Amino acid sequence: HSYLTYKYNALTFLPLNLFEQLKRAANCYFLALLILQVIPDISTLPWYTTLIPLVVVLGITAIKDLVDDLARHRMDKEINNRKCDVLSGGSFQESKWRHIQVGDVIRLRKNDFVPADVLLLSSSNPNSLCYVETAELDGETNLKFKMGLRVTDERLQEERQLAEFDGETLIECEEPNNRLDKFTGTMLWKGERYPLELDNMLLRGCKVRNTEVCHGLVIFAGADTKIMRNGGKTRFKRTKIDELMNYMVYTIFLLLILISAGLAIGHSYWYDDIGSKAWYLYDGKNQDASLRGFLSFWGYIIILNTMVPISLYVSVEVIRLGQSKFINWDLQMYFAEKDTPAKARTTTLNEQLGQIQYIFSDKTGTLTQNVMQFKKCTIAGRCFWSDHGEFHRSAASPDEGALVTAARNFGYVFLSRTQDTISIREMEQENTYEMLALLDFNSDRKRMSIILRFPDGRIRLYCKGADTVIYERLSPNSRYKESTQTALDVFANETLRTLCLCYKDISTDEYEAWSRRHKEAQVALVDRDGALDRVYEQIENNLLLIGATAIEDKLQDGVPETIAKLAKADIKIWVLTGDKKETAENIGYSCSLLTDDMHIHYELWTHTHLERGGAYGAVLPQIDFVDMACECEAVICCRVTPKQKANVVSLVKKYKKAVTLSIGDGANDVNMIKTADIGVGISGQEGMQAVMSSDYAFAQFRYLQRLLLVHGRWSYIRMCKFLRFFFFKNFAFTLVHFWYSFFNGYSSQVSDMFITLYNLCYSSLPILLVGLLDQDVNDRLSLKFPKLYLPGQQGLLFNYKNFFISLFHGIFVSLIIFFIPYGAFLQTMGQDGEAPSDYQSFAVVTASSLIFVVNLQISLDTSYWTFVSCFAVLGSIAIYFGIMFDIHSAGIHVLLPSVFTFTGAASNALRQPYLWLTIILTVGVSLLPVICIQFLHKTIYPSVGDKVQRNRKKYEMELEQDEKKKPSAFQRGGRSRRSAYAFSHSRGYADLIASGRKRLAISGVRGHTASV
């Protein structure tokens, strides 16, 4: 019965983690490069120059993955070691959850979590009622009613009775599945068969409430439980930029092979024509031109590997780690009320937050607080309102809790309830009513009725439900129809959840005749649900209207503003909920997902369409569903199971190739969270299942706008700018070797010292700080102008076009850096009458020009300057000159004469003014075209970001003025719309919700043209 969510164990960690890391093309490339470098005949650089960085990269990533997985291990261990009483040897013994097996009889106490899917046998409450909280399953904190069979309630209260039961019972039931709303089975006991339904089951993840003790039989354990079946697989998530970088590595590798092959061929011809005939070039190796060309090919593969240096991946990991810390440290995403900070639970997906196209959100506990308040009512044509009534009671739904609490405030106090009676204190007088029948709610009936026998013997039916179905069943003589309708319209315009109330007095003869038909329907073997509905219809007619109630379902703070901001950023928001259509649509209006100027389009889809592609396995219905829904500005999916939530996300990913984000707070959202490209968990009162499966977690939905529009956008811009510049600076550096090869006999010989230090010291810090700190506009302006988010969605800042621009920019700069100094050295004369035309002086001038160009180029690309940025640029240049003068000094030559042979070359070269002029000319020619292009582009074709930067001070003043006047969350008084009452969606202790076939209703907004 072990609960396992971790990815690795002690044996599989190293091989499995290495396998996952070697899926990254660059890591395979560097491993192959390392193998080449240990072959003496072709090695042009020491093998440790690749081994050390490769081990560091693989090690850092492995440690990060290990830390993440250890957290999963700790969580699994905590859950698996929870204690539970298990019947063993005729008495209950304390046992750990991981030792529980199917067929065990267990004892649960108040506030215990249910460890498995358990058949409820008996409880300490009358009639074996058991109250459970299902927050871990569906995110709802309201209580659900469960009930043991009457026969087990009467005969299985003592340990001795339970021990006998354990050995003489046969349970036949459905196969393990993920349907949280359904269970079918039979119990064979002492020759009798008893039907088992969902209302007899306590599912794993529920919490026992208001019940001192209960006993149950384990039906499903471990991975077979319904909550685990809904969990989905833990997927290895990668960003779009990661995938793109893989393809770019393939492109660079192909380019590298072509360049190396061309230079190797050149070396073969050169050696055949020149090298073999020059006695002073004889190296003692008797190798022909072809073999030398072959070895030169591999030598160039090693030299030119700096086009994709391993330091790129080290830097990417550092930047991602820093961006994750910024999210964790953001005080504006800290929820002080519950001391909950934002938490980046992964460090590999930050830039993907800047590319989200679709958000899939749960409703209860994610958009709403799941807190109901009774606000208004109309009774006998008169309106009343209340400022009291926040939900604090245990009830089957938050709405019912709000109504019961409001009744208490008006002097009608609910005292107790058994299977057959209800006790109420009415204005200090206590009365007990006999409950004769409960005609429960289902999504087709949209109403619920109860038949009571009053203390004086009268029989009365009370009915509550949606106004559309209640008005159809009213007696022609019923009063207050018009006044109640007017009040309903007012309540609906205020986005309150409305419920109509009515009653009917029933004679004893009429009730007894109807009761016989009701009992026949209850035991029907075929179409029991349909038979019950038909019997209910016979009694629910000629009703007399009492009035209507209006309840406010409180949204979380800032939800409407957040949804409006995200919509302006062209992010499509879909709400996926298990609620009925009317409830979900009402919340859509409350949170500004739906507005009055939108037209609503309704579509009905069964789970078969989503999971199997429609009738006969056709794929077309799935495409139709995605195409239709994606045309809408907003989509609400109703009556969906956790599995269907994940299927909806998968379909959009599959057919639209879109970047998706799922956000939820309950265990029913885990599969959806794992399926999306980004999973966000709301850490609240609904448990931690969603958070533990998420990539990012925070306490309130409103923080999502800051996560995406600020942190996500900044992370994307920073990473794109970092990658563009990194490719440019390494193309510019590496291709200088290419041009040099035409003048050195294609010998693949270079200075390994500069190659090693270039990416380590001379150019790494400025671009690393850009990747960590750069921002085009501040956070307040990022939120004020959501359109700034669009470039990330469209992938405009890093793609193959940007890659080739960086490539050609690098080619251009490498040409300038090589050939301008080459021309200057061709015919020169120093001021001392000597021409410094040696290769080392030429290398000093070329290298100095390169360092100035790359550091000044990143300065031009930096949007946000700080002291640290300035220090990094100047410091990198200073480090270069310091190291260069050191390696050309007499002191280091004395220490290592065989390694540092060019004593005084740097100081001699840089003493010549015309070489400084050469450096200045090279830097100027390299940078001037870039400056001109950037100026023209920002002047003629300014982006939204350019315009915001240009008017930054003006917009910041507007923000200060806006803060003084805070607009309301949403406008009331729009067109009339009916807000429906949200009944409990679980089956109570009577005949519970007859849900029939599970359906998916789509409520979408399709611009201004839609049909119903």
Q: How is 341-384 classified by DSSP, letter by letter? A: --EE--SS-GGGGGS--EEEE--TTTTEEEEEEEEEEEETTEEE
Instruction: Identify whether the C-beta of residue 700 lies closer than 8 Å to the C-beta of residue 557.
Output: yes
Residue 871 labelled as part of a binding site: no
Distance CA 976, CA 20 (A): 56
Residue 721 labelled as part of a binding site: no
At 703, phi and psi to the nearest 5? -70, -10
| CB neighbour list of residue 974: distance below 8 Å, 6 or more residues apart | 493, 589, 595, 596
Distance CA 800, CA 30 (A): 22
Strand partners, 106: 86, 216
Bridge-based pairing state of the strands 201-202 and 91-96: unpaired
Active site residue 362: yes
Residue 653 labelled as part of a binding site: no
Full 3-state SS string of 426-477: ECCEEEEEEEEEEECCCCCCCEEEEEEECCCCCEEEEEEECHHHHHHCECCC
Residue 578 labelled as part of a binding site: yes
Tokens of 299: 């030598």
Residue 400 labelled as part of a binding site: yes
Residue 495 labelled as part of a binding site: no
Distance CA 46, CA 756 (A): 10
Instruction: Identify whether the C-beta of residue 472 lies closer than 8 Å to the C-beta of residue 491.
Output: no
Long-range contacts of 322-326 (CB under 8 A, 24+ apart): 322/771, 322/772, 323/347, 323/350, 323/351, 323/711, 323/714, 323/715, 323/718, 323/772, 324/350, 326/711
Tokens of 874: 């100047």
Cα within 13 Å of Cα(869), Cβ side = 18
Tokens of 559: 């939800």
Q: How is 942-954 classified by DSSP, letter by letter? A: --HHHHHHHTHHH
Residue 645 labelled as part of a binding site: yes
Q: Nearest-CA neighbor of 577 among 997, 992, 138, 986?
A: 138
Residue 210 labelled as part of a binding site: no
Residue 204 labelled as part of a binding site: no
Instruction: Identify whether the C-beta of residue 115 lies closer than 8 Å to the C-beta of residue 975.
Output: no
Distance CA 921, CA 822 (A): 13
Strand partners, 86: 93, 106
Positions of E strands within 101-234: 105-109, 117-123, 129-133, 143-147, 169-173, 185-189, 192-196, 201-202, 207-209, 213-220
Query: 3-state DSSP call for residue 422?
Result: strand
Angle (nearest 5°) at CA 769 between 763 and 773: 160
Residue 441 labelled as part of a binding site: yes
Distance CA 306, CA 304 (A): 5
Strand partners, 343: 697
At 158, phi and psi to the nearest 5? -100, 160
Instruction: Identify whether the C-beta of residue 64 lies closer than 8 Å to the C-beta of residue 345.
Output: no
Distance CA 914, CA 958 (A): 53
Residue 363 labelled as part of a binding site: yes
Q: Nearest-CA neighbor of 639 among 604, 682, 687?
A: 604
Distance CA 226, CA 203 (A): 7
Q: Nearest-CA neighbor of 954 among 792, 743, 777, 824?
A: 777
What are the Cα distances from residue 67, in Å, to 10, 346, 424, 516, 984? 13, 11, 56, 65, 41
Q: Of residues 362, 440, 467, 861, which has the active-site annotation?
A: 362
Measure CA of the first residue to CA of the last residue in the chain; give whole Å.
48
| CB neighbour list of residue 905: distance below 8 Å, 6 or more residues apart | 838, 840, 841, 844, 888
Residue 76 labelled as part of a binding site: no
Q: Nearest-CA neighbor of 580 among 742, 326, 397?
A: 397
- Residue for token pair 């009930």: 147
Residue 339 labelled as part of a binding site: no
- Annotated binding residues for Mg(2+), written as ranges, equal 362, 364, 665, 669
Q: Which residues are annotated as catalytic?
A: 362
- Annotated binding residues, written as ranges, equal 362-364, 400, 441, 464, 497, 577-579, 639, 645, 665, 668-669
- Annotated binding residues for ATP, written as ranges, equal 362-364, 400, 441, 464, 497, 577-579, 639, 645, 668-669
